[in-house]
A and B are shown apart, each in its own frame.
Chain A
């Protein structure tokens, strides 16, 4: 229950460079085209500097060519067209590169989260995880393209240094000194940059997480008239974020400024040194103009590359935050290549067919043990046997480990020890095995999604209306369906809020039935169903001949129907067997049965007697 259950640090992630390299390799053609466009842009940005130098030399009579002013204007116009071409190329490669790589990263993270034990899939709230899916993914793709900017600037820098040295080596080299000094200074500041960035990203996650939770619980907030205090808390975390983000940004501004000043100092040095040469006529006004232009460009280059290390460290923070979502996966899983279908031809959703070995003959579990981190709660050494065509009910008081048992069996929590066997074969990965078409599960509080009812039931399963309606009927929901004006097309709203609690639960049950699994697992269906509906439900389930069920329940309607009952107490099996023998021999069962206020009415004595006679 404490936040230390989320391990800090020690997450095995890929090195930052590897993630970026993988992104480039994933769409290397786009990346190279982008680089080409960048080079075109840079070249046509640099040439005008030389054209202008030629212009001043033309004025002062130092020109080495016989171009007139209109030729020069023509050159400038051509460069402008070249730049537009470059930008055109950039736009047409930037966006596809971004979308392909971002989709891949998001896909890999989502795939892994869906693979993890379902009950502990996220280290934080879904809203917080969104900040990783959004910002951190973007930063990575951005950096991969940023490398092209750097390469382009590098070309500019090489040309610039070569040109300046050719004109006057002494002035050229001395004017470069400030850049070198500033570069050294900036790189020593990278640690701080990383720290500030980490803090500012973390707090952003807290803010988005809170918005998500807040509006997820809006009815409770309204009913408790807690709007003001919750909003006040929102203000507080917003303010904290402002503080941290400004620190991050200010530090960046200072660094940037240092680089600009390097260019200014360089220009100052040119002014001092060139004055004499200009008087002597060895340094023309055109040369001067070219130096000022090129130094400005070199300053951009050093600003970029000086921030390179800092930027790289920041990406490291993003990689680590994404790695945290990928906990338990091999590090390479983050960047594993697979199609992302950005051509708009999406793949068919395929559900596997039943294989011969899937048919349930016997399910056994031996010595299942699981403890929640930091608490003594859990289950201890639980044995279990399910025969085909039977209903097994797990019962027990609150906190006795009923839900935990189901989750551990299905791999939604990973067991500490124990063994599970399907038809005698050991199930290595319960989480992968206990899925349709072998098994389906309805949680105590099932989740629906903002889709039409049909999509919530099918979730991509390729079945016709008849099959859906059959599943709906089996879930005792056909009556509700008639009430919905749009029938199966009814939009259920976020998390299914437009439906009642019982309707949500029965939709989830229908979702399960539509998959026609060998084994049906229910976690306390009764909580949102009235007795009569639940009874009908059980009847309809067992209309199908060879269906096998495992259910948590404390209702008599379920216990009476059960072929086998497992009574849990404090995480251990207290007793198991048929209802009659348990009622006779097991004290805990007697207590559960007779204390069952939920189903036994408190009533006038006469009626109570008649009920007793009936039992």
Chain B
């Protein structure tokens, strides 16, 4: 399986174009260093021939000094090339990392629900790392080696035409043979990298769930999982290496042919008195030097195979398209937004409807209380408002606009969600509250903190907003985490707020604190409050009860409460003890 050259070219062109200058400099450094490699043996020849005829000491010393000077100069070029090469590579791969991260972020939730963060680490960081060598040197070295090859063939032509022709044929055959074996290992290499991604995905997930593993007594089970995945990596690595052996063997065989040529030609030309012994040395040295581009091109063929596998995996990742398409850019009105579900059907998997024919209309500034047992579709309904998914049928309208109209960014800026699972970064309190948005001023954050009556907590921080939160918000109580999530919402100015069981994990006293804050938040905003508890929906204007994805009851809260036959009234009457929903 060969990777088309065009793909390499595209990859290179796209990421090198922004740094033409450094790349040109890098090319210059590498090519000069290659030029010097062709020149140095000529000095050696002069030296040997001069010594053979017993030349003056001064001539010999001069040759030696020129040799040393050129060698040091070549090393300086190499250092320069290394610096510029690394710089070009890291700039390019960082751009690629950013691009991939951006791409993955845009993918819809069905992708993320099937891909673990550990796997993405391996893809965004690991695979791109493979490409780093490609960007820094590989391409230039391949080109440089080809130039070196041509330079040597030309130099040999100048010594003897027959020899030149023989060597030219040899080099051509060598390159064709190399190209033939080039793609052998790619599929194995790809499987190898995939098995690595799987291994680290597994580890990441297990490391995040130590408490569950431990308290389930499942340590041995997890270790067995580790062995299995390590063994899979082993198998693929071994297969890959064996294919590389074939590539190396071909390269070694070629070298042998070249050496034979050098020895036989040098011997007979010298015997025929056509060349000096210095020239014989030159020929042997050149052909050995020819071995270097051939050997390096072989190694580079390996690297290209690595790159091939990595690019293929990256192309695969990049080829995944979001099933959600950004809206053409309709504008949502300012202020509180009305929300209209119009015959919405939805399912995550075919044949398993999660929502069926949901219809309701929520006037601007009013509050809908959404009730239903777990799995009845409440959370899914909320996700549809954010266009984390699109409905299979029907439409969701916000402020009179179908939400497939406005851009996703615009839409999500106008709606806010508080879930029970608060996701925190290992970063400062500020970055956690603003999601790394540097445009939010500290004053604004502090105002909101006061508004939420969080001043006491804030005062306990050792380093104010610069205090770093630990991984997963360790050290924060569930309630504090919840309050942070509220702060996030308060920092924005949404026209619609969805509280998904926002207060469910809070103790009653803290809940009252939050209730007051929610009151402030809901002023002049439309809201949906999702809850299992009746108390949470006390501020609702309308009530909707879901069951198995269907609306079983929908209407004005007061009216429903007053109608003794309504489920809601029954629910109120019997309180929490009765099964009704």
Using Cβ atoms and an 8 Å threshold, which residues of chain B touch A412?
211, 214-215
Q: 1/0 per position for B136-166, CB-CB distance to A under 8 A?
A: 0000000000000000000000000000000
Complex Cα spacing A104 to B553, Å: 59
Q: Which residues of B contact A265 (CB under 8 A)?
A: 68, 71
Asked if A118 and B117 make an inter-chain contact with CB atoms under 8 angstroms apart, the answer reads: no
Contact with B along A501-516 (1 / 0, CB 8 A): 1110010100110010
The CA of A278 and the CA of B277, in the complex, are separated in Å by 13
> Which residues of B are found within 8 Å of A610, using beta-carbon distances?
573
Q: Once A and B bind, how many residue pairs between them come within 8 Å at the CB atom?
A: 559
Contact string, B443-480, partner A, CB cutoff 8 A, digits 1/0? 00000000000000000111100011111101111111
Q: A residues within 8 A CB of B63? A: 271
At the interface, yes or no: B60 with Cβ under 8 Å from chain A? yes
Determine, out of B8-16, B20-28, B504-512, the stretch whose residues face the partner at the interface. B504-512
Determine whether B248 belongs to the interface, using a CB cutoff of 8 Å to chain A: yes
Q: A275-B51, A595-B512, A600-B535 are in contact. Are A214 and B101 (CB under 8 A)?
A: yes
* Cβ contacts under 8 Å, A261 to chain B: 71-72, 75
Q: Residue A578 at the B interface, CB < 8 A?
A: no
Known: A118-B211, A346-B227, A557-B576. A500 touches B374 (CB 8 A): yes
Contact between B386 and A232, CB atoms less than 8 A apart: no
Q: Does B425 contact A (CB under 8 A)?
A: yes
Overall SS of chain A's interface:
helix
Asked if A43 lies at the interface with its beta carbon under 8 angstroms from chain B, I say no
**Which parts of B393-436 form the interface with A (CB within 8 Å)?**
408-409, 412-413, 416-417, 419-427, 431, 434-436
A253 in contact with B78 (CB, 8 Å): yes
Residue from the list A213, A398, A498 in contact with B477, Cβ < 8 A: A398
> Cα distance A399–B214 when bound, in Å?
25
How many whole Å from B259's CB to the nearest CB in chain A? 5
Within 8 A of A (CB), among B556-581: 561-562, 571-573, 575-577, 579-581
A63 to B329, CA, bound (A): 86
A375 near B373: Cβ-Cβ < 8 Å: no
9-residue interface stretch from A15-23, A191-199, A359-367, A529-537 = A529-537
For residue A439, which residues in chain B have a CB less than 8 angstroms away from its CB? Answer: 215
A99 lies within 8 A of B233 (CB): yes
B425 surroundings in chain A (CB, below 8 A): 210, 213-214, 217
The distance in angstroms between the C-alpha atoms of A388 and B224, with both chains bound, is: 35
A446 contacts B212, CB within 8 Å? yes
On whether the beta carbons of A1 and B476 are closer than 8 Å, the reply is: yes
Any A CB within 8 A of the CB of B1? no
Question: Could you pull out 28 A-B pairs where Cβ atoms are within 8 angstroms?
Answer: A56-B280, A76-B256, A83-B252, A87-B248, A103-B226, A119-B211, A124-B471, A130-B118, A208-B121, A213-B426, A215-B104, A223-B417, A235-B94, A238-B98, A253-B78, A272-B61, A272-B64, A289-B284, A342-B231, A344-B231, A399-B477, A440-B217, A460-B224, A495-B116, A500-B379, A531-B577, A533-B374, A535-B577
Interface flag for B208 (CB, 8 Å): yes
How close is A34's CB to chain B, nearest CB, in angstroms? 13
Residues of B within 8 Å of A, CB-based: how many?
Answer: 183
Is the C-beta of A148 less than 8 angstroms from some C-beta in chain B? no
A 255-288 binary contact with B (CB < 8 Å = 1; else 0): 0010011001101100110111011000001001
Which A residues from 217 to 245 make CB contacts under 8 A with B? 217-227, 229-235, 238-239, 241-242, 245
**B25-75 contacts to A (CB < 8 Å):** 44, 47-48, 50-52, 54-55, 57, 60-61, 63-65, 67-68, 71-72, 75
CB atoms of A215 and B475 under 8 A apart:
no
| In the complex, A12 has a CB within 8 A of chain B | no
Extra inter-chain contacts (10) besides given A242-B90, A515-B216, CB under 8 Å:
A99-B233, A110-B206, A212-B120, A214-B101, A268-B71, A447-B205, A460-B218, A531-B533, A596-B535, A602-B534
Contact with B along A522-557 (1 / 0, CB 8 A): 001011111111010000000000000000001011
CB of B375, distance to nearest CB on chain A (Å): 5
Contacting A118 at CB < 8 Å: which of B214, B408, B505?
B214
Query: What chain B residues lie within 8 Å of A124 (beta carbons)?
Result: 426, 471
Which residues of B sit under 8 angstroms from A99, Cβ to Cβ? 230-231, 233-234, 237
Residues in A with CB closer than 8 Å to B217 are: 351-352, 435-437, 440, 515
Complex contact A431–B214 (CB within 8 A): yes
CA distance A233 to B263 in the complex (A): 61
Give the 8 A-B CB pairs with smallest separation, nearest first: A502-B374, A460-B221, A226-B435, A275-B60, A447-B209, A264-B71, A217-B423, A118-B211
Query: Do the beta carbons of A398 and B478 come within 8 Å of each other?
Result: yes
Q: B352 contacts which chain A residues (CB < 8 A)?
A: 483-485
Are A212 and B475 within 8 A (Cβ)? no
Interface mask (B112-138 → A, CB under 8 Å = 1, otherwise 0)? 111111101100111000000000000
